[in-house]
Amino acid sequence: MKLKSYEIDSYRSCLRTKSPLQDTLTGLIGINGSGKSNILNSLVLLKKMVRSRPLTRDEDSPSRNKCRITAEIEYQKKTLFMRGIIEYETDEHNHDEVYSSQLKFNFREFLNYPKWINIPLQLFSLTNPFSTSINKPLMDSRWMDIIQYYHINQEDFNFIRTRRIGQLLNAVFNFFDGINYYSASQFSDPSRCPVSMELEENRPSRRVRVGGVGHERFIFDLYQSWKAKNIQFKRYINTVGNEGIGLVDNVQFTEIDIPSSSYEVTVGGKIQKIERNRLLVVPNFSINNIELSPNQLSEGTFKTLALVYYILNDDSKLLLIEEPEVCVHHGLLSSIISLIKTQSKQKQIVMSTHSDFVLDHLEPENLLQVKWIPNKGTIATPLNRAISKNDYKELKIYLKESGNLGEYWKESGFEND
Ligand SMILES: Nc1ncnc2c1ncn2[C@@H]1O[C@H](COP(=O)(O)OP(=O)(O)O)[C@@H](O)[C@H]1O
Ligand SMILES: [Mg+2]
């Protein structure tokens, strides 16, 4: 499944922003404040939307923002469209929380049904596609309530309760759920990273924030793949270790059992001892034969370790990466960009960048030029449309003969005037 194109309406600076995306790698370039991060964040809303409540008709909270996202999705070589109205609030860290959404789908290429149909979120869940429960009479009565509430007509109702629709929606929602976003700023200041982690029943005893990835989450994810001793961990060490970019010699974890028990007293005074399975996990990074805690790593090393981990191991369907050049020095950056390029053959990647050095590793086809225009907001244009036909032709010749994309960008700025 691929996100072929998107249209964002009324989200931050994206007043009406639309563009196609590459199946492999799309690079967003543009000056500060043009809206690159806003485009990436709007795509994260698709993931958050899957877990939100349905938008009810009579609900209209003035403090909440509403935006609309239309996604063109390719699946089994056919196209389907999803349009979501998303109601969200933004917190003081500029994170959006999605409250509710209303979804419409168009399956015209799949099922020869050209209408947009309203599909209430209650009708499916990730683990339990509604198509499997349509025969249950109990479900039927709930269905009736829902279709009446949302004014879904009989024809649409008969259509959406087919097994094929259930399968398609399930695939789309798994795809959205598999969207992940990484930004080096999530891993700023390694000194905030704890030197150890306490696990209870194999889960961190302190809640690790879901959604975003922070220091602790990275250490926990890394520990889990170390523990699994799987091929992914070997591949990671080969990439960041001396055989690869040489950031660290090795990553090890020490596990210490913490004996722990408590007592439960039942009615009648019966006392029962409950053993708790707790573990102290201590991460260790060896660099030049010195053992270091994560909080002793340099910020650049920490960020690069985390970024490479997620580029390699993340099983996203769509990976969004914010400025991979942040904090990574040029020597390493080319390895990271080739890693991103290789991974993008398996999963779709959209990344923003400011770096002409990153552009040197990309092709003009991969680029979207992002601009902010008064009254129009953020505009994203594929490079072959952002500059004149002649300039694009000249650019291709220049790249073939001698130059590179980053240099061209620095000189011309890809201006079409
Ligand atoms: N929560 C928000 N609500 C409204 N506008 C925002 C919000 N966050 C950022 N912006 C605005 O959107 C514009 C583009 O921001 P951003 O996407 O971060 O730019 P870029 O990543 O290209 O540097 C900025 O001018 C900023 O003021
Ligand atoms: Mg940005």
Per-residue confidence of the chain (417 residues) as pLDDT tens digits?
A: 999 999 999 999 999 999 999 999 999 999 999 999 999 999 999 999 887 776 665 556 677 899 999 999 999 999 999 999 999 999 988 899 998 888 999 998 988 889 999 888 766 654 444 444 433 444 566 677 777 877 888 888 888 878 788 888 888 988 998 999 998 888 888 888 889 999 988 888 766 554 456 888 899 999 999 999 888 899 999 999 999 999 999 999 999 999 888 888 988 899 988 888 889 999 999 999 999 999 999 999 999 999 999 999 888 899 999 999 987 878 889 889 999 999 999 999 999 999 999 999 999 999 999 999 999 999 999 999 999 999 999 999 999 998 899 998 888 778 754
Query: Domain for residue 351, yes or no?
Result: no
11 and 157 belong to one structural domain = yes
157 and 261 belong to one structural domain = no
Report residue 188 CA to chain centroid gap.
19
DSSP 136: -
198 and 71 belong to one structural domain = no
The ligand with the least distance to the CA atom of 38 is 1
Using the 3D structure, point to which of 314, 338, 367 is the last residue of a domain. 314
Q: How high is the pLDDT of residue 66?
A: 94
Which burial class, exposed, middle or buried, applies to 289 when counting CB atoms under 10 A from its CB (0-12, 13-18, 19+)?
exposed
110 and 160 belong to one structural domain = yes
What's the CA-to-centroid distance between 70 and ligand 2, angstroms?
Answer: 22
Query: Domain for residue 214, yes or no?
Result: yes
9 and 126 belong to one structural domain = yes
Beta carbons within 8 Å of 257's beta carbon, 6+ residues apart: 278, 279, 280
Q: How high is the pLDDT of residue 194?
A: 86
Ligand 1 pocket residue status of 94, Cβ below 6 Å:
yes
Give the C-alpha separation, 323 to 413, whole Å: 18
The ligand with the least distance to the CA atom of 30 is 1
Amino acid in the structure at residue 68? R
201 and 64 belong to one structural domain = no
Structure tokens at 229: 């001793």
152 and 9 belong to one structural domain = yes
17 and 149 belong to one structural domain = yes
Task: Give the side-chain half-sphere CA count within 13 A for 275.
Answer: 5
Ligand 1 pocket residue status of 347, Cβ below 6 Å:
no
Using DSSP, state whether 198 is helix, strand or coil: strand
CA-nearest residue for atom 13, ligand 1, is 33
What's the CA-to-centroid distance between 190 and ligand 1, angstroms?
Answer: 26
Query: Domain for residue 298, yes or no?
Result: yes
CA-nearest residue for atom 9, ligand 1, is 12
What's the CA-to-centroid distance between 321 and ligand 2, angstroms?
Answer: 10
CA-nearest residue for atom 10, ligand 1, is 12
What's the CA-to-centroid distance between 50 and ligand 2, angstroms?
Answer: 25
Using DSSP, state whether 235 is helix, strand or coil: helix
DSSP 131: G
Residue 322 CA, closest ligand 1 atom number: 21
Query: Domain for residue 339, yes or no?
Result: no
Query: Domain for residue 355, yes or no?
Result: no
**H or E stretch including 199?**
strand 197-200
What's the CA-to-centroid distance between 383 and ligand 1, angstroms?
Answer: 22
Q: Which of 10, 14, 31, 38 to mutate to test the pocket of ligand 1 (most atoms within 8 A of CB)?
A: 38
Residue 258 structural domain: 186-314
Residue 90 CA, closest ligand 1 atom number: 1
Ligand 1 pocket residue status of 38, Cβ below 6 Å:
yes
> Of the candidates 274, 93, 121, 131, which has an alpha carbon nearest to the alpha carbon of residue 200?
274
Structure tokens at 106: 């168009």
Q: Which of 14, 28, 37, 371 to mutate to test the pocket of ligand 1 (most atoms within 8 A of CB)?
A: 37
> Of the candidates 279, 303, 282, which has an alpha carbon nearest to the alpha carbon of residue 291?
282
Query: Domain for residue 370, yes or no?
Result: no
Give the C-alpha separation, 393 to 395, whole Å: 5
Structure tokens at 206: 């302190």
Q: How high is the pLDDT of residue 340?
A: 95
Ligand 1 pocket residue status of 35, Cβ below 6 Å:
yes
Query: Domain for residue 335, yes or no?
Result: no
CA-nearest residue for atom 26, ligand 1, is 33
Give the C-alpha separation, 360 to 364, whole Å: 10
Give the C-alpha separation, 346 to 66, whole Å: 33
The number of folded domains in the chain is 2
Give the C-alpha separation, 225 to 244, whole Å: 19
158 and 214 belong to one structural domain = no
205 and 155 belong to one structural domain = no
Report residue 279 CA to chain centroid gap.
30
CATH code for the domain of 84: 3.40.50
Query: Domain for residue 397, yes or no?
Result: no
Structure tokens at 137: 């009479």
Using the 3D structure, point to which of 255, 289, 314 is the last residue of a domain. 314
What's the CA-to-centroid distance between 326 and ligand 2, angstroms?
Answer: 11
Using the 3D structure, point to which of 162, 178, 194 is the last residue of a domain. 178
276 and 304 belong to one structural domain = yes
Q: Tokens 């939100």 map to which residue?
A: 52
234 and 293 belong to one structural domain = yes
